[in-house]
Structure 1
Amino acid sequence: MPRDRRDYYYRKAKEKGYRSRAAFKLKQINERFNIIRKGDTVVDLGAAPGGWLQVAHELSGAKVVGVDILPIEEIEGVETIKGDIRLDSTVEKIKKKIKEGADVVICDAAPSLSGSWSYDHARSIDLAESALECARKLLKPDGRFVVKVFQGDMFPDFLNKVRDHFVKVQAFSPQATRKQSAEIYVIGKRLLPGLIKINQEYTVTIEDIGASGDGIARINDFVIFVKDAKKGERLNIRIRDVKPHFAFGERIE
C-alpha cells in the first residue's frame, strides 16, 4: 500500500474518481487500438471493482455489462452480473442482457497470487482462455477482444489461440502498467467465423466463378475464393487467409 500511495496512476485514479489505477490501462489501450467506440455494447469479464467499467461506459455511452464472482458496487448506466465466466449459466445471463451480441469483450481479471510464479502464470493463462471462450460466444462478427495475461512459457501458445479466432492480434503493455509487472494485454480485432481456420484443409466443389476469375466455393454458406479453379470442379484446398465474411484457399494435391 505505501508503494501504491506514491504511484502516479494510483493518485490520478483517486483524483478522477476511478475505482482502480487500471482505468488508465484501458484508456491507453483504447487510444492505441480504438477498441471501444461510441455506441458499442461492451462486456467486462472479471470486472470488480469496476475501474474498467467506468472507462468503458465513458467511451461507449451505450450498454455496458460487468461480470464477476465478487459483487460490484453500483455504477450509473452499467449493468452487473454476479457469476463465474467459466459456467454456461453465466454466459446465458450475459446473453439475456446484451441480446444482439457484444461489440467488445474486455477482461482485466487476474488470479489470486500464490507466490509460485509457474503456478500463477498457468492460472493466468487458464483464466485468459476462459475469457477467450466466453468472448467467442458473446461477440458479434467483427467483434473486438482485450484480455490481460501474465507473460511466461505458455504465453506464445495462448497468443496463437487468439490468432485462430481474430483477423488481427497484437500484444501490448500500456504505460500505466508497473515496470516490475509481467502482465501484458492481448488485443484481438475482427472476430473470425468459428468453422474456418487458417491452414485447415477442406474438400470443396466450385459453384461459380467470380468477377476476378477465382473459383467460388462454400463451406456452410461461408464463401471461399480459390485461384485457378473451374466451375463444377471438386478439389482439396488449404485455407491461407480468413476475413470476416470470406476466405482464400489454395489448391492442394
Structure 2
Amino acid sequence: MARDRRDYYYHQAKEEGYRSRASFKLKQINERHHIINRGDSVVDLGAAPGGWLQVAKELSGGKVLGVDLQRIEPIEGVETIQGDINAESTIKKIIKIVGAKGTDVVLCDAAPNLSGNWSYDHARSIELATSALECAKKILKPKGNFAVKVFQGDMFNDYLQQVRENFVKTAAYSPKASRSQSAEIYVIGKKFLTAPLRKGDEFVMDIEELGSSGDGAVLIEGFVVFVKEVEVGEKVRIKITDVKPNFAFADVAERLGKTEKSE
C-alpha cells in the first residue's frame, strides 16, 4: 500500500506538471490549516527543486520567493535566491524582495542528507528546522504563518515548544501524501507574535487602572497586558499566561503591597 500510494503521488505530480510529489503535501497542509491565502506573499526556504513554489504560486497568486543553496530552475511568476538562510546577506536579499514589512508566509520542506544513523539525522533535521524558524522570525509579518518539516524523535517536543512560543496557534500534522514509513511531520505556526513578551515571563507592575472587563490593565513596552484579580493601587509580580497578537493575559504571582501613589 505504501508503494502504491508513493506511486500514485509520483505519477500525479508528473501528470499535473509538478516538479515533486511533495507538491501534494503542501496542498493537503493548506486544505487543513489554511496557511496560504489569496494575495499572500510567500517565502519557501530550501525550495529546490520547486514543487512547493509551484503550489504556493497557485494558492496565493502573489509574490513568491524561493531560497536554496542550489540553483532553482525558473518558474513563471516566482523569484529565487541562491544562498544560505543562516547568512545575514541572504536575509537582506529576502527583505529587499518581499519588502521591509515582511512576508505573510514562510515555508520549509527541506531535509538534511540522510546518513542512515537515525539519532544523527533527527538532530540535523531539528537543526535545519531551527534555522528556518530563526529566519522566519526575521522576515515574517505580524500574524504571519509558518510551516516546516521535521523528523520525529526525542528533540521534537522541545522544537514544538519553540514554535509555540512564537505563534498564537501551533499544530503538528502529517499529510496523506507523506510516505507511511516516513517519520517526517510538519509543524504549523499561525499568527506570528511580535509582542515584547512571552508566556511564562514575569514582571513587577503597579496597577494604575482597570480595563472594561474589570481586570487590571498595564503596559509593557507599549503592549497591553490584562491582569486578573487585582485592584488599583496594588504592586504585584505578574506571570504571563497567554499572548495574543495585540494583547496578553497574566495572573498574579506575588502581591507586593501598595504602590507609592496609593500610600
User: Which TM bucket (shorter chain)?
Assistant: over 0.9
| 1:39-68 superposed Cα distances (whole Å, 9 cap, x missing partner) | 001000000000000000000000011000
Alignment check: 8 A CA contact 2:39 2:61 kept: yes
TM-score, normalised by the number of residues in structure 2: 0.92
The alpha carbon displacement at 1:196 in A equals 1.2
For 2:83 and 2:233, the matched residues in 1 are separated by 51
CA RMSD in angstroms comes to 1.5
Residues 5/151 of structure 1: CA separation in 2 closer, same or farther (3 Å cut): closer
1:177 aligns to 2:162 (yes or no): no
Unaligned 5+ runs, structure 2: 255-263
1:35 corresponds to:
35
1:240 corresponds to:
241
The alpha carbon displacement at 1:235 in A equals 1.8
| 1:181-214 superposed Cα distances (whole Å, 9 cap, x missing partner) | 1100000111122531111111123342211111
The alpha carbon displacement at 1:5 in A equals 11
Q: Secondary structure at the match of 2:86?
A: coil
Q: Which amino acid in structure 2 is aligned with residue 244 of structure 1?
A: P
For 1:207 and 1:88, the matched residues in 2 are separated by 43
The alpha carbon displacement at 1:7 in A equals 1.0
Aligned residue-pair number: 251
2:64 corresponds to:
64
Alignment check: 8 A CA contact 1:225 1:247 kept: yes
- Written as runs of structure 1 = structure 2, the 5 A alignment for 1:179-218 is 179-218=180-219
Q: Secondary structure at the match of 1:7?
A: helix
Q: Which amino acid in structure 2 is aligned with residue 63 of structure 1?
A: K
- Report which stretch shifted further, 201-210 or 135-144: 201-210
- Written as runs of structure 1 = structure 2, the 5 A alignment for 1:95-134 is 95-99=95-99, 100-134=101-135
Alignment check: 8 A CA contact 1:165 1:194 kept: no
For 1:179 and 1:41, the matched residues in 2 are separated by 31
| Sequence identity (%) | 65
Unaligned 5+ runs, structure 1: none
1:51 aligns to 2:51 (yes or no): yes
For 2:133 and 2:6, the matched residues in 1 are separated by 34
For 2:207 and 2:5, the matched residues in 1 are separated by 65
Alignment check: 8 A CA contact 2:195 2:246 kept: no
The alpha carbon displacement at 1:215 in A equals 1.1
TM-score, normalised by the number of residues in structure 1: 0.96
Q: Secondary structure at the match of 1:208?
A: coil
Larger gyration radius, structure 1 or structure 2: 2
- Report which stretch shifted further, 124-133 or 205-214: 205-214
Q: Secondary structure at the match of 1:54?
A: helix
For 2:42 and 2:154, the matched residues in 1 are separated by 31
Q: Secondary structure at the match of 1:252?
A: strand
Alignment check: 8 A CA contact 1:204 1:219 kept: no
- Report which stretch shifted further, 126-135 or 192-201: 192-201
For 1:70 and 1:5, the matched residues in 2 are separated by 29
| 1:125-179 superposed Cα distances (whole Å, 9 cap, x missing partner) | 0000000011111111111000000011111111111111111111010000011
